[in-house]
Structure 1
Amino acid sequence: MKKIISIVFFLIFVTYSVSFADSLNLSCKSAILIDANTGQVLYEKNPHLKLHPASTTKIMTGILAIEHGNMNDIVTVDEETVYLTEGSHIALEPEEQLPLEDLLHALLIESANDSAFAIAKYISGSTDEFAKLMNNKAKELGALNTNFVNPNGLTNENHLTTAYDLSLMAKYAMENETFREIVSNYTYTIPVTNKKDEERYLKSSNKLLYSNETINVDGEIVPIKYDGITGIKTGYTQAAQNCLVASAKRGNQNLIAVVLKVNGKEIYSDMHKLLNYGFDNFDTIDIAVKNEFVDNLEIKNGEIPIIAGIVKKDLPISIPKDSINKVTEKVMLDDELKAPIENGQTLGKIKYYLEDQLVGEVDIVSTLDVDTISSPTIFEKILNKWYLLLIGFFIIVRAIVVIKQKKKRKHRRKIYRVPSSYR
């Protein structure tokens, strides 16, 4: 009966969320909105549909360049990079030399396909090997339906991903300070090189960052530029149509949204609707605070029998507005807490639920080192026995002495009884 009631509550919550979100009337083929801190899904439309990602692919290329490269390294462009490049580019030339940092800005701001090739070859030696690195990283991040075959997103029937998978990649990438700083800018200047005697001025196609062009959002005409936008990447090919991955922050709310396969400016209208939905209907709260006391926990075979368990880190979660009182928690400890225990060791978890839906979890950790009670050696056991016998002997002797002293005092004591008339 209890399980049935829980399912009913869960269905009510899901039905509410879906029915409300359905009113967004998005034009895109696929979309998702997540909390950038926790990865919670706040809205979805065909999130696992495999589609061409176009240049949103470069999110993965960019983060791999940062993790596997050195920003100050000088990359030499080869002939194949130049001659195989199609679409957007920064006119790289054979034997041209640029710092990786400049190529990375060209990749993420100008969306340069020749820069993507140059980075891939610098990191892995070939685009094929780099694609393997991309796919391994995608799986590591939890991607379910992604297969990359190139570093730039040019159309290939086997180069596919999903809105859900892209949201995971974007969340991970935006946790990197270098990546985050680059995609928050919409201009950049590449200095002269050994092959170019003029500077190259780059400008992002992510109009959410800067454009005063207008769009229609639910009947209201507003600028494309979005309040609180922090990045990250656009994409377009004929097969993919317009694609956009965006992040935005207001107060303590941090959102990531993905929109795939839509025509024209509707890409920005859909993105506004998604982000508005997140900011208007959800609150971000710290459901758990780092070092918050949880409970005193019994430790078996420990020199210290009880230690305090505390919350490992802050845990912000997104929940529908005015629903904080509906959040419940479940403390789950390891089966047997037994010494030795290290300071900071995980002892269990706290899971937080909203209407029976898991919305976040955090580790419970130890505040102390606890050593195991050491077993006495044979010699110590013998000493302990003799010690007990000796203590017992002294107790007996002392008792005999006390008894004798009492008897002596009794014999010496004289009792005087005074008649009542003298009292």
Structure 2
Amino acid sequence: MKRFAALLLAFLLLCPAAQAAEPVTSASSAILVDAESGRVLYEKDAHTRRGIASTTKLMTALVAAESVTDLSAKVEILREDTLTEGSSMYLKVGENVTVEALFYGLLLQSGNDAALALARYCAGNVEPFVARMNEKTQALGMADTRFANPNGLDDENHYSTAADMAVLAAACMDNELVAKIVSTKSATIGTRTFVNHNKLLSLYPECVGMKTGYTRSSGRTLVSAARRDGQLLLCVTLNDPNDWEDHAALFEYGFETYPRCLLASAGKTVGLVKTSGSLVPAVPVQTSEEVWYPLTESEQVQAELKLPDGLQTPVADDVPVGALVFTLDGAIIGETSLVCAAGVHSDQAPEAGPLERLWSLFPWAG
């Protein structure tokens, strides 16, 4: 495979961005992440293990969402579900509540009783459900996280990091049910009305969720997400007395300094590959998908084509023949496969388009 810098693609990488001053947060730990790429845009002591309080319920919701099949199913509330302190959706022993109501009570009302009821419903008891939560941390690669309960009450064996919680936030936003609920400001399910504790949904218009938390030991914890122009950012602060303002400032910093930039469009011809065994001397190759990445104004991305020296015909349409790889400071930040464009089986060579004509200016690339 040939490897060379695709200088002619530089025009694809224009992405103006204003360099904003990095925010100063009040949090003990904080992180801001671009969800699509996973790029960390800001961090402060993001890998120190700390208490996470009720942001725990994001994992409770995610594990439960992967377990339930019927949101209308009824759950009879037992006495053990109500034996918890802190925030509550005020479940009563003997009442029958839908699974859906428990989800809203968990994520909007932050009900510790809802967490216990959901855990018992999904796994038969709280302990095996917590085991599932810890199994999920391993599956997600959350190496610095451990859960001791489904509601986030203080326990020395219950902790996470800002970086790990950002991983969990991304998984929650990929789950249709959880993402829908955490973005809801208020909802009425049955006879109960739930109001979301996450004030950022009102304070920051582009906020699309997620979850608040507080205990005296952990302090104020907040996991949030915001979307602008197709870009989704995830923010986590732990032990932050000024979390609403900090999250808004971090989101503004991220969107202004690291906007989502289009590195490659789908279906764009980027070169020609020589053929043998045909009257057609070469076939055009094109990108198969879009590539996006958050970039500052000053960052320079390099694009590299990986193509074979030649192809033996016949060559079917849309057959992958190479890749277009993007790097930043030597690290790969994205790529798209290159496929043969339509019409490569013609008896005549395709008419050269503007990119092919530009390509001809670089004979060393052929």
TM-score by length of 1: 0.67
Name the residue aligned to 2:143: 144
For the residues of structure 2 that align with 1:245 and 1:227, how far apart are their CA atoms? 16
Counterpart residue type for residue 270 of structure 1: D
Counterpart residue type for residue 329 of structure 2: E
For the residues of structure 1 that align with 2:29 and 2:268, how far apart are their CA atoms? 40
Q: CA deviation at 1:77?
A: 2.1
Task: Verify the 8 A CA contact 1:147 1:161 in the aligned structure 2.
Answer: yes
Counterpart residue type for residue 73 of structure 1: A
2:19 aligned with 1:43: no
For the residues of structure 2 that align with 1:157 and 1:243, how far apart are their CA atoms? 17
For the residues of structure 2 that align with 1:28 and 1:313, how far apart are their CA atoms? 39
Select 1:285's aligned residue among 252, 255, 261. Answer: 261
Task: Verify the 8 A CA contact 2:20 2:256 in the aligned structure 1.
Answer: no
For the residues of structure 2 that align with 1:29 and 1:41, how far apart are their CA atoms? 17
2:294 aligned with 1:318: yes
Name the residue aligned to 2:327: 353
Name the residue aligned to 1:247: 225
For the residues of structure 2 that align with 1:133 and 1:299, how far apart are their CA atoms? 54
Aligned residue for 1:270, secondary structure, equals: helix
Name the residue aligned to 2:114: 115
Compared with structure 1, are the counterparts of its residues 320 and 127 closer, same or farther at alpha carbon in structure 2 (3 Å cutoff)? Answer: same
2:60 aligned with 1:61: yes
Select 1:226's aligned residue among 183, 191, 204. Answer: 204
RMSD across aligned positions (CA): 3.3
More helix by share: 1
For the residues of structure 2 that align with 1:282 and 1:148, how far apart are their CA atoms? 33
2:269 aligned with 1:270: no
Which runs of 5 or more residues in structure 1 are unaligned? 1-18, 192-198, 211-224, 369-423
For the residues of structure 2 that align with 1:345 and 1:119, how far apart are their CA atoms? 48
Compared with structure 1, are the counterparts of its residues 180 and 356 closer, same or farther at alpha carbon in structure 2 (3 Å cutoff)? Answer: same
Task: Verify the 8 A CA contact 2:288 2:339 in the aligned structure 1.
Answer: yes
Q: CA deviation at 1:271?
A: 1.1
* Residues 176-215 of structure 1 aligned to structure 2 (within 5 Å): 176-191=175-190, 199-210=191-202
> 1:13-40: per-residue Cα shift (whole Å, max 9, x none)?
xxxxxx976x422110111111122211
TM-score by length of 2: 0.77
Counterpart residue type for residue 361 of structure 1: E
Aligned identity (percent) is: 34
For the residues of structure 1 that align with 2:340 and 2:129, how far apart are their CA atoms? 42
Name the residue aligned to 2:15: none
Name the residue aligned to 1:405: none
Counterpart residue type for residue 258 of structure 1: V
Compared with structure 1, are the counterparts of its residues 347 and 143 closer, same or farther at alpha carbon in structure 2 (3 Å cutoff)? Answer: farther
Counterpart residue type for residue 81 of structure 1: D
Q: CA deviation at 1:107?
A: 0.8
Task: Verify the 8 A CA contact 2:269 2:285 in the aligned structure 1.
Answer: yes
Which runs of 5 or more residues in structure 2 are unaligned? 1-18, 343-366
For the residues of structure 2 that align with 1:347 and 1:165, how far apart are their CA atoms? 37
Whichever of the two has the greater Rg, that structure is: 1
Point out which structure has higher relative CO (alpha carbons under 8 A, 6+ apart): 2
Task: Verify the 8 A CA contact 2:20 2:253 in the aligned structure 1.
Answer: no
For the residues of structure 1 that align with 2:148 and 2:318, how far apart are their CA atoms? 42
Aligned residue pairs, count: 322
